[in-house]
Amino acid sequence: MSETKFTIEHQSIGEIKCLKIQGYLDAHTAPQLESALGNLVEEGKHKIIVNFSELDYISSAGLGVFMVYIEDVRETGGDIKLAEMKPKVFTVFDLLGFPMLFEIVENNQAAIAKFAN
Amino acid sequence: MVATLNTNNNQISATGNTAELEKIRDFVGAQAKLFGFGEIDAFQIALAVDEACSNLIRHSYHNDNNRQFIVSIEKNNSELIIQVMDNGDTFNPMSVPEPDMEEYFKKFKRGGLGVQIMRKVMDKIEYIPAQTSTALNVLSLTKRLV
């Protein structure tokens, strides 16, 4: 059933936290990501990479999750950087102009380098 | 109240549960590809229908598993027309004003982007509210194959 259609893998890269998301991010699964990001922000982990390499789908419910926390993490000098998006997933971000607000980078290394600057 | 909605080959029924969205996307995406749309277009058409159904499930059916709606596909020359038919409260998504995205990002707003995705992806969106208590509301989403 749908419970297996979205998973989140947690990784730590020094002080940076990486959430590798896999599957379908829609109105059904978005609360899982909201909860995972919320836990990081609550723990004071404000440098976050979300790796999209295995994400096959996103709807506005998924986009909305990033809007919930972006202000909080930036206020403390952190960020949520979005890495390794498949082209079709990127089209959803692009449709609404999300690249205006979010840094979307090629891979985790590029995101780590951005945090270092 | 309609307990069970009858469907044919060009239709599927779903319940007021967001777990149903994947099945709707699969159905719409496959039909769009059969009609001749490429991978990205079919993906985005399925996305637009997902947005319509997500709004319906959440705002009209209040995630009630016992409520049903229908997603049907019509083909008219070069047009693929997807209809979402429900027996919930009437709500015309086109009544939602278009957001100013610069303002949206500046103020870190949340939600309300599903209708905007529908507008961006589809060529035509029409809403016909049910005229009687036993009729269905019909949201038609049209995409032209060019």
User: The CATH number of the domain where B104 resides is what?
Assistant: 3.30.565.10
Check B21 against A27: CB less than 8 A apart.
Answer: yes
Task: Tell me how many domains chain A contains.
Answer: 1
To test the contact with chain B by mutation, choose from A65, A70, A96 the residue with the greatest count of B C-beta atoms within 10 A, namely A96
Distance CA B14, CA B5 (A): 9
Residue A113 has a pLDDT of 97
* Chain A hits for B114, Cβ within 8 Å: 59-61
* Chain A hits for B57, Cβ within 8 Å: 27
Residue B1 has a pLDDT of 43
Radius of gyration of chain A (CA): 13
User: Do A37 and A65 contact (CB within 8 A), yes or no?
Assistant: yes
Assigned domain for B4 exists: no
Distance CA B33, CA A58 (A): 19
Burial state string for A32-42 with b = 16 or more CB within 10 A and e = fewer than 16: bbbebbeebbe
Q: For A43, what's the count of Cα atoms within 13 Å in the CB-facing half-sphere?
A: 12
Check B43 against A97: CB less than 8 A apart.
Answer: no
Distance CA B125, CA B62 (A): 23
- Please tell me the distance in Å from B140's CA to the nearest CA on chain A: 19
Establish whether this prediction's ipTM goes over 0.85: yes
Distance CA A46, CA A51 (A): 15
Q: Which helix (H) or strand (E) holds B2?
A: none
User: Do B114 and A95 contact (CB within 8 A), yes or no?
Assistant: no
Low-confidence ranges of chain A (pLDDT < 70): 1-4
Assigned domain for B5 exists: no
Q: Which residues of B touch A (CB under 8 A)?
A: 18-19, 21-22, 25, 39-40, 43-44, 47, 50-51, 54, 57-58, 101-102, 105, 108-111, 113-114, 116-117, 120-121
pLDDT band at B50 (very low <50, low <70, confident <90, very high): very high
Task: Tell me how many domains chain B contains.
Answer: 1
Residue B44 has a pLDDT of 98
Residue B85 has a pLDDT of 97
Q: What is the mean pLDDT of residues B45-56?
A: 98
Assigned domain for B56 exists: yes
Residue B32, SS3 per DSSP = helix
Can you tell me which residue has the tokens 């690249």? A99
* Chain B hits for A67, Cβ within 8 Å: 108-110
Q: What is the mean pLDDT of residues B81-95?
A: 95
For B43, phi then psi, to 5°, come to -60, -45
Closest CA to A103 of B114, B100, B48, B105: B105
Segments forming the whole domain that contains residue A53: 2-116
Segments forming the whole domain that contains residue B79: 11-144
CATH number of the domain at A108, please: 3.30.750.24
Assigned domain for B107 exists: yes
Average pLDDT, chain B: 93
* Chain B hits for A71, Cβ within 8 Å: 108
Tokens describing residue B83: 């209809």
Whether the predicted pLDDT of B3 surpasses 60: no
Residue A38 has a pLDDT of 97
Residue A32 has a pLDDT of 97
Helix, strand, coil shares of chain B, percent, nearest 5, are 40, 25, 35
Tokens describing residue A83: 């890495």
